[in-house]
Structure 1
Amino acid sequence: MRTACDIVLTDTERSTLQRWSRGRSTPIRVVLRSRLVLLAAQGLMNKDIATAVGTSRQSVGLWRSRFAAQRLAGIEQDAPRGGRRPTRRDQVARLILERTTQTVPCNATHWSVRTLGTALGISPTMVHRVWKAHGLKPHLSRTFKLSNDPSFVEKLLDIVGLYLNPPEHALVLCADEKSQIQALDRTQPGLPLKKGRCGTYTHDYKRNGTTTLFAALELAEGRLIGSCMPRHRHQEWITFLTRIDTQTPADLDLHLIIDNYATHKHPAVQRWLQRHPRFHMHFTPTASSWLNLIERWFRELTDKRIRRGTFHSEQHLIQAIMDYMTEHNQHPKSFAWTAKAETILAKVARARAVLDKSASA
């Protein structure tokens, strides 16, 4: 009588199998195999495992033996399959790749499997398989922007230096405005989150005014200084700088990382800064808002408090923003900058080389 091989797991193997068996992004075939191996390690018979996971006894025996012989690699990767080599696909794969990456259709911005298949006289399935094998997804795109600031390198080194090696007896603050925040009220109540259904809200809305948030993130501790104002002119910026001046220790220099918005360089602002010599302004390069860590906090504010919020008035919106900021300051946490200037400059140089090559082609 044939008996199934015993399965004994190491701590590492058990931890990995448990993670795979619960993984929401793990392929379903790997989830199934992980579950049956875990049950086999408990001493269950193949027929009982088959009943528990909803598969056949033969499949349980196959993957039990595969794991015993190859361990984790045996169930994570499929064995090479038999069948005839796809000669037709090999013949047209190069042509598919050239058309996909170097041309566009006549009246569209990118190819689809059907339009490219029609143009080449092949099936859409073949196009899809070649794209999948080479990681091509023409329907997806993302935006980018390389700074053309002539002082890009100097400004980058200055700001990254503040992040990685802040000066002594000084505070580094990342400051900016988040303008035109809309107080949106939905036309109907949304449906709450429930099992099997995400929360909902109506696509249409009523505008109840706007506000502008002025905020500064103190780099060392993550404390926020902020206020909402109806406009974002140089007068409001000076008011905000005055707030920073009064809410920080008077014996410390203040290094502010800000962008190149004209308000920040207004003559009245320059005169105010001359009267307050402890303020030192550090401007990010143009088109480089990613260098200012306050933008990262603005994103959290938008995602967690504003985007799906319902605000019946402008004051309701302002109160929600200030409450969120107050809660943050009760348990302040900053963002750790880890990228070195050399790494960033090398990445920018590679991107610029690709752009120059594309422009000359």
Structure 2
Amino acid sequence: MYPVVCFDERPCQLIDDSIAPIPMEPGKPRRQDYHYKRNGVASLFIAFEPLTGKRIVELRARRTKVDYAHFLKQVAQHYPNATKIRLVQDNLNTHNPSSFYQTFEASAAFELTQRFEMYYTPKKGSWLNMVEIELSVLSKQCLSRRIGELSELDQQVTAWAEARNRKKASVNWQFTLNQARQKFHRFYPNTST
């Protein structure tokens, strides 16, 4: 079994109202002041298996090599029967096997490096990673309002992921090989001669 898992993370600002909003009334929307209170940031880690519509999410206080390694260990535990997990990700400095060795003992780190087969999207091409579509959906459906506490953000993101997993919501990827060759023609050798 070789599941394809797309991974990415994004920062989430914890923003709270500084003045209590005026609740919705018949014929009037909820109103909130433009002033807000910033309560810090969190990092949202997401792994998405587009062929099955399965996603794993976790919120962490930071985005470091250690956080990355712990999250991927959790991802590996979701696929106990996988021969290799094909991991699609961008080229961020934390996204490499050295994160495992910095975080775990050598034997555990080696075991994790053997579980993953890492594929990197090209620079300025992270949009090729299907998890970006999931992050866009998450942003629109869950993160477009003020959430001031990490516990509330965690609850909302977890509920969103569980609902999407129940639906087995996947991505209808329509970018073909021919379209890729047209878009990235300067990277492909001329094969017509």
TM-score normalised by L of structure 2: 0.81
Distance 1:229 1:174 in 2: 18
| Kept in 2: contact 1:171–1:219 (CA 8 A) | no
Output aligned runs, 1:203-222, within 5 Å: 203-222=34-53
Q: As a proportion of its length, which structure holds more strand? A: 2
Distance 1:171 1:266, change over 3 A: closer
Change (3 A) 1:193 1:306: farther
Bigger relative contact order (CA 8 A; separation at least 6): 2
**Larger C-alpha radius of gyration, 1 or 2?**
1
Identity percentage of aligned residues: 26
Kept in 1, the 8 Å contact 2:68–2:99? The answer is no
Measured after TM superposition, the shift of residue 190 of structure 1 is 5.0
The structure whose residues are more often helix, as a share, is: 1
1:289 to 2:120 alignment:
no
1:226 equivalent to 2:57? Answer yes
Question: Structure 2: any 5+ residue segments left out of the alignment?
Answer: 187-193
Correspondence 1:290-305 to 2 at 5 A: 290-305=127-142
Which letter maps to 2:20? Answer: Q
Note if contact 1:209-1:314 (Cα within 8 Å) is conserved in structure 2.
no
Structure 1 counterpart of 2:3, from 146, 166, 171: 171
Map 1:242-321 onto structure 2 (within 5 A).
Answer: 242-265=73-96, 267-269=98-100, 274-276=110-112, 277-308=114-145, 310-321=146-157
Deviation, structure 1 residue 261: 0.2
TM (normalized to structure 1)?
A: 0.45
CA contact (8 A) 1:234 1:266 kept: no
Q: Contact conserved, 2:76 with 2:115, CA < 8 A, in 1?
A: no
Q: Once the two structures are superposed, what CA deviation does each residue of 1:40-78 show, in whole Å capped at 9, x if it has no partner? A: xxxxxxxxxxxxxxxxxxxxxxxxxxxxxxxxxxxxxxx
1:251 positional shift: 3.6
Q: Secondary structure at the match of 1:184?
A: strand
Pairing of 1:48-197 with structure 2 (within 5 A): 169-179=1-11, 181-186=12-17, 187-190=19-22, 192=24
- For these two proteins, the number of residue pairs brought into alignment is 179
Unaligned runs of 5+ in 1: 1-168, 351-361
Question: Which of residues 225, 234, 241 is equivalent to 2:72?
Answer: 241
